[in-house]
């Protein structure tokens, strides 16, 4: 069975919109595209290199797929680009627009994702694609979540995990980059537990 490994870049106030470039996602008048780039030091680059080492496939939402498909096929002489271009791309979307990037496949439901997860093959990496996270969490499909928190406040923009159902995670790894990025890796640990600081009589 494959594992689904999901990753998000977020600001201190939980914004996940357009960390990679000024034209990545300008919806809603977002003016800070590329906010993550200045903080990609050796630690961050090294961690991301580990995530994408070896064989993997991609599981993407339509928006992130279109962003990736508009960029990576044009990048030459780059091992990371070669890895993305050769990987199978599974796109969770209701749109019937063509998937032009090589080796791309359409998935129309989380049930289809669950079926794919049960099949033989490399792990599925989710990058960006924040709109599909609530459904992945609700259906118990995420095996590992890596969250990179950047030392900035953006004030506006699309937030992480909108409408996600409650779920608890345990941290299995963490690193702090000199650029101030906090890298935390989590695995699901069951339902949310609650308690109280109130003193018993």
Give per-residue pLDDT as tens, 101-136: 999 999 999 999 999 999 999 999 999 888 899 999
Query: Helix H segments across the chain?
Result: 42-51, 62-69, 79-86, 110-118, 133-138
Note the pTM of the prediction, 2 decimals.
0.92
Using the predicted structure, report yes or no on whether residue 19 has a pLDDT greater than 70.
yes
pLDDT tens, position by position, 35-60: 999 999 999 999 999 999 989 999 99
Please tell me the predicted confidence (pLDDT) of residue 180.
98
Distance CA 180, CA 41 (A): 10
* Domain range annotation of the chain: 4-122+133-148+170-178
Percentage with pLDDT > 70 across the chain: 100
Q: Which two tokens stand for residue 92?
A: 């969770």
Straight-line distance from the first to the last Cα atom of the chain, in angstroms, rounded to the nearest whole number: 51
Whether the per-residue pLDDT at 200 is higher than 80: the answer is no
* pLDDT value of position 129: 85
User: CATH 3.30.70: does it fit domain 4-122+133-148+170-178?
Assistant: no
Q: In what order do the strands lie in the sheet with 124-127?
A: 104-107, 89-92, 57-61, 124-127, 4-10, 144-149, 182-190, 168-176
Q: For residue 201, is pLDDT > 90? A: no
Of residues 26 and 199, more confidence is placed in: 26
Task: Classify 48 as helix, strand or coil.
Answer: helix
Separation of alpha carbons 45 and 18, rounded Å: 18
């Amino acid at each position: 069975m494959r594992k689904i490994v999901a990753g998000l870049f977020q600001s201190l106030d939980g914004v996940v919109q357009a960390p990679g470039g000024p034209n990545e996602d300008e919806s809603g008048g977002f003016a800070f595209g590329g906010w993550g780039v200045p903080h990609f030091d050796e630690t961050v680059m090294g961690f991301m290199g580990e995530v994408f080492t070896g064989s993997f496939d991609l599981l993407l939402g339509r928006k992130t797929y279109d962003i990736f498909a508009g960029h990576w096929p044009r990048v030459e002489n780059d091992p990371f680009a070669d890895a993305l271009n050769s990987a199978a791309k599974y796109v969770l979307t209701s749109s019937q627009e063509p998937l032009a990037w090589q080796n791309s496949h359409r998935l129309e439901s989380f049930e289809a994702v669950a079926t794919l997860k049960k099949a033989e093959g490399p792990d599925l990496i989710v990058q960006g694609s924040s709109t599909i996270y609530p459904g992945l969490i609700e259906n118990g499909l995420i095996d590992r979540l890596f969250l990179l928190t950047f030392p900035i406040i953006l004030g506006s923009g699309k937030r992480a995990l909108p409408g996600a159902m409650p779920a608890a995670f345990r941290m299995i790894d963490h690193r702090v980059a000199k650029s101030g990025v906090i890298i935390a890796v989590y695995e699901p640990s069951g339902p949310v537990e609650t308690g109280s600081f109130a003193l018993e009589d």
